[in-house]
Structure 1
Amino acid sequence: MSHQTVIVLDFGGQYNQLIARRVRECGVYCEVKSYKTPLEEIKAANPAGIIFTGGPNSVYLETSPRISREIFELGIPVLGICYGCQLMAYTLGGEVSTCVTSEYGKTETEYDKSSLLFGSISDMPEKAVSWMSHTDYVSKVPEGFRITAHTANCPAAAMENKEKKLYAVQFHPEVNHTQYGIKMIDSFLKNVCGCTGDWTMAGYAKTAINDIRAKVGDGKVLLALSGGVDSSVAAALLAKAVGSQLTCIFVDHGFMRKNEGDEVEAAFADWGINFVRVNAKEQFMSKLRGVSDPETKRKTIGEEFIRVFEREAKKIGVVDYLVQGTIYPDVIESGAGDAAVIKSHHNVGGLPDYVDFKEIIEPLRLLFKDEVRALGRELGLSDILVDRQPFPGPGLAIRIIGEITDEKLDILKDADFIFREEIAKAGLDKTVNQYFAVLTNNRSVGVMGDGRTYDYTLALRAVETSDFMTAEFSRIPYDVLAAASNRIVNEVKNINRVVYDITTKPPATIEWE
C-alpha cells in the first residue's frame, strides 16, 4: 500500500521530530531527511510536499546551511518554518536581517485570512498567539511573495507565493503554544499539497504483516521481549504475521513492578506464539550482592540479561531472523553524516554472536511512540501494555538506593503499587507522564502505635514532559499525596516517612539512579 509522502528537511531544528509527528497526526506519512539530501533523491520520493525545519544559524552567514534554488522550481509545495522561512526568502532574492527586537515565546500575531494557509481555518480569528523564537527576520520578501501575517516587531511573520505553492511562517506552528498551529499544518497538507490523510495504523498493520510474511517465509524468528511498549507491539505484529514461527524470550530479572511479569505473560497467552518466560531473579540477585553503585548495577544487570538470553536462545537452534523494537526517533536521533547525534541507539549491541540470523527485522522503524501505541491497540494489545510508562531496563533495581535485598524489593513493590493505584483513582494516570516510588537508604525516627520506629524514607516522583529530555514535577493535589502517604505507612512495613520530589529536569534526572 503506497502513501502520499511529505519530506521534512532538517536544518538543525530542535523541533524536527515534533514537526514530523504533527504531520503524521494529520494522517499524512512523512520522513525526516537532512538538508544535504541530494535533489534527485527528493524528486525520486515523489513527495506531495516539503517542509523546512527551523535551525540555530543565521542564513546570511557563509557557514550556514543552504539549499539549491532548484527545489523551489519543482512544482512541489514547500512550507518553511522559522529558519526555513528565512532560507526561502534569502534563496529567492529577499533579504534577511538581524532583529532590532528579538521575539521569544508567546507573541500576538495578526493574520491575513485571505491566505489559503489561514483562511480555511473557520474558527481562527484574525489575531491569535504564535510561538516565536528568532533573532533574525525577513526584512524584504522575494519578488512574487506577499506578507500574510505580522507582529509588532516582525513585519513578515508569514509570507506566500500562491502561484508557486510556496509558504513560510516565522513562528513555530508545530508547538502547542501556537494557537491553531496544528490546523495550519493540516491546511498546508490538505489544501496546498492535496493530501487526503491516508496514513492509518490499520493500513500500516496490514501492509507490515504482509511484508513480514513475504520476507520470513517458513523461517524462525526470535525476539527478546522486555514487556515494554515497543517490544510488546513488535511481538504482537510478528505474532499476527508468522504465529508459531516466532519465539519471544521474556527474561524476568525480578525487578519489575508488582504483578508486572505475570501481566506480560498473560497478555501473550492466547497469541499462538512460543513464549518463554525465564524467572531469573535469583541469578540477578546473586550477581548484585554487595553492589551499591548505580552504574555498576546497570552494567551488571545488562550483562546478565545477555547471558540469560544467550543460554535460552541456544535451546532454540538456528534462528533465521532477529526482531528489534527500533522506532523512528531512534533512527533520527542516531544521526547520519553531519547530522546531529542526540544519542546513539545500539539496539543489537551485545547480542550473542552465535545467533545465526539472515537479517534483522525492524517492524516499527517508521513509527513514532504514539503511533506504536496506536498500532498496539489496533493489534488488540491490552491497555496495561500499550499505556505502559517508560520503565528503565534495570527496573526497580535503580529505584532502590544502595544494595538490593529481597526485603527492600518487597517494600518498594508494595509502596509503588499503592502510589500508582492512588494516581489512577484520582484520574491522573493519563496526564502525568511518569510516576513511581523510590526507596531511599535513609532511615529516620517515627512513632507508630505509641512505639518508636526507625524505618525507611520513601520518595514519590511524578513528572510531566513531552520528550523526557526536560521535565517538570507534577503538581499532584495534596489530598492525593496524602491518601497515598497514609496508605503506604499503614499498609507497608518498614516505611515511616514519605516525601515528594519537586525537582525539575534539569538539574535533576527523572530517575534517582
Structure 2
Amino acid sequence: MDIQEIKQDALDPEAFIKAQCDVIGKTVGDGTAVNALSGGVDSSVVTMLAHRALGDRLKTFFIDNGLMREGEPQRVVDILQQCGAPVTLVDARDEFFAALKGKTDPEEKRQAITDTFYKAVFSRLVKQSGAKHLLQGTIYTDVEETVAGIKRQHNILAQLGIDTAKEYGYTVIEPLIQLRKPAVRTVGRALGLPDEITNRPPFPGPALVARVIGEATPERIALVRKATVVLEEELADVDAFQYMAILHNDRIPGMRDGKRDYGLQIEVRCWDSRDARTATPTHLPFDLLERLAGRMTSEVRGVVSVTYNIASKPPSTMEAV
C-alpha cells in the first residue's frame, strides 16, 4: 500500500485542513463537486472540509437507504445544516431493499450496496448536478483492511483498480485517506463539528446490513434497528470504542408464556480499541448485561436469546458481516 499514513501524534489539524482545502479547490477548479453524507465521523468531516473549500459549489446529499439507525437521516441533516453546510435528503429506500432482496452472502450484500449507491442512486444525482468530482470519507483503515483481504469496505474503489471516471462518470477525492479514526476526530473538532458527531462510535458503510446475518429484509432491518436503540440507551455511559447488536439468522429454541418458542438471537459486541486494527471485548458489568438481555427479549419482538461476544480482534472482527 503506497499511501503514507499521518499518525495522530504527528497531525497538525489546522495545517491539515488548509492543505486539504487547497487540494480540493485545485482539483475541482471552477466546477462543482458532490459528496454523500452518512452521518459518521468520516463523512461529516469531509462535508465540512469540502464546504470550507468550495462553498456553494459543493452539493451534499444524505442518501436515506432505509438501513440507518432510528431517526438518523433527519438528525444528521439537521446537525450539519446547523454547522453551515446545506444538505439534501434523498429517499432511496426502495432501491436498496430491491438490490438486497434474496442475498445472504456478506460480500454479495456489500457489493449490492456499493452498486446501488455508486451506479444507480449517486450516479443519477451526479449527472443531474453536472459535477465531475465526488468527495468521500475513505480513511486509512478502510484501505488497509480491504487490501489485506480482511473485509471489503464498500467505499474502496481506486485501490482495487476501479476507474471511477469510466465506471461511474466522476473522479473520487479522498481527503482523509491518510488518517485513522482518532486523527479524523481531531480534525472534526478543529472544523467545529459538535461532540455528537466527533465522539460518535464508528458506524459501518453498509449500515445495519453489517449487523444482519442472512438476508437484510425491511423487517429484519427494523428488528435490528430496535435492538440498536435498546443497546445504545443501555451503553450510553460506557467508555467503549464501538458497540453493536447483531441479528443472527437461525431460529433457536426458547420459552415464552410457558410454551416452547423458536425465536431469534441477538449477539451484542462491545469493543475497547484505539484505531480498530486490534480490539478486545469491553468488560461490561454483569448486571448491565442482564438488564440489556431483559430489555432485548421483552422489547424486541421475537428475540429469545442474547449473547455477548468475548473473542478479541484478531481473530474476530469488529463487525459480524
Report deviation, 1:233.
0.3
Using the alignment, how far apart are the partners of 2:279 and 2:75 within structure 1? 29
Alignment of 1:140-219 (within 5 A): 199=12, 201-206=13-18, 208-209=20-21, 212-213=24-25, 216=28, 218-219=30-31
Residue matched to 1:370: 182
Residue matched to 2:297: 489
Q: Secondary structure at the match of 1:390?
A: coil
1:308 and 2:294 correspond: no
Alignment of 1:292-441 (within 5 A): 292-306=104-118, 307-317=120-130, 319-327=131-139, 342=148, 346-348=156-158, 349=162, 351=164, 353=166, 361-365=173-177, 367-424=179-236, 427-428=237-238, 430=239, 432-441=240-249
Using the alignment, how far apart are the partners of 2:63 and 2:164 within structure 1? 14
Taking a change above 3 Å as real, the CA distance of residues 496 and 264 of structure 1, as seen in their structure-2 partners, is same
Taking a change above 3 Å as real, the CA distance of residues 454 and 365 of structure 1, as seen in their structure-2 partners, is closer
Q: Secondary structure at the match of 1:392?
A: coil
Using the alignment, how far apart are the partners of 1:229 and 1:252 within structure 2? 17
Cα shift readout 1:73-92 (whole Å, capped 9, x = no counterpart):
xxxxxxxxxxxxxxxxxxxx
CA contact (8 A) 1:252 1:281 kept: yes
Query: Rg bigger for which structure?
Result: 1
Using the alignment, how far apart are the partners of 1:209 and 1:295 within structure 2? 34
Using the alignment, how far apart are the partners of 1:350 and 1:214 within structure 2? 21
CA contact (8 A) 1:310 1:352 kept: no
CA contact (8 A) 2:182 2:275 kept: no
Alignment gaps of 5+ in structure 2: none
Residue matched to 2:320: 512
Taking a change above 3 Å as real, the CA distance of residues 248 and 350 of structure 1, as seen in their structure-2 partners, is farther
Cα shift readout 1:89-137 (whole Å, capped 9, x = no counterpart):
xxxxxxxxxxxxxxxxxxxxxxxxxxxxxxxxxxxxxxxxxxxxxxxxx
CA contact (8 A) 2:7 2:183 kept: no
| Paired residue type of 2:35 | L
Aligned equivalent of 1:470, options 255, 271, 278: 278
Q: Sequence identity of aligned pairs in percent?
A: 37
Task: Provide TM-score, normalisation by structure 1.
Answer: 0.54
Using the alignment, how far apart are the partners of 1:236 and 1:250 within structure 2? 14
Report deviation, 1:202.
3.6
CA contact (8 A) 2:35 2:47 kept: yes
More relative contact order, 1 or 2 (CA 8 Å, 6+ apart): 2
Larger fraction in strand: 1
Cα shift readout 1:228-250 (whole Å, capped 9, x = no counterpart):
32221011112123221101233
Taking a change above 3 Å as real, the CA distance of residues 284 and 461 of structure 1, as seen in their structure-2 partners, is same
Larger fraction in helix: 2
Residue matched to 1:290: 102
1:503 and 2:316 correspond: no
Report deviation, 1:263.
2.4
Using the alignment, how far apart are the partners of 2:42 and 2:267 within structure 1? 28
Using the alignment, how far apart are the partners of 1:252 and 1:352 within structure 2? 24
Taking a change above 3 Å as real, the CA distance of residues 413 and 23 of structure 1, as seen in their structure-2 partners, is closer
Aligned equivalent of 1:460, options 250, 268, 281: 268
| Paired residue type of 2:7 | R
Q: Secondary structure at the match of 2:255?
A: strand
Aligned equivalent of 1:279, options 87, 91, 97: 91
Q: Secondary structure at the match of 2:60?
A: strand
Taking a change above 3 Å as real, the CA distance of residues 21 and 422 of structure 1, as seen in their structure-2 partners, is same
Alignment of 1:30-69 (within 5 A): none
Using the alignment, how far apart are the partners of 2:280 and 2:267 within structure 1? 16
Report deviation, 1:423.
1.0
Using the alignment, how far apart are the partners of 1:213 and 1:257 within structure 2? 33
Aligned equivalent of 1:227, options 39, 42, 46: 39
CA contact (8 A) 1:239 1:271 kept: no
Report deviation, 1:475.
1.6
Q: Secondary structure at the match of 1:470?
A: coil
Using the alignment, how far apart are the partners of 2:252 and 2:69 within structure 1? 25
Q: Secondary structure at the match of 1:441?
A: coil
Residue matched to 1:243: 55
| Paired residue type of 2:315 | P
Task: Provide TM-score, normalisation by structure 2.
Answer: 0.82
Report deviation, 1:293.
1.9
| Paired residue type of 2:313 | K
CA contact (8 A) 1:326 1:347 kept: no
Taking a change above 3 Å as real, the CA distance of residues 403 and 328 of structure 1, as seen in their structure-2 partners, is closer
Using the alignment, how far apart are the partners of 2:85 and 2:205 within structure 1? 24
Q: Secondary structure at the match of 2:129?
A: coil
Q: CA RMSD in A?
A: 3.1
CA contact (8 A) 1:324 1:347 kept: no
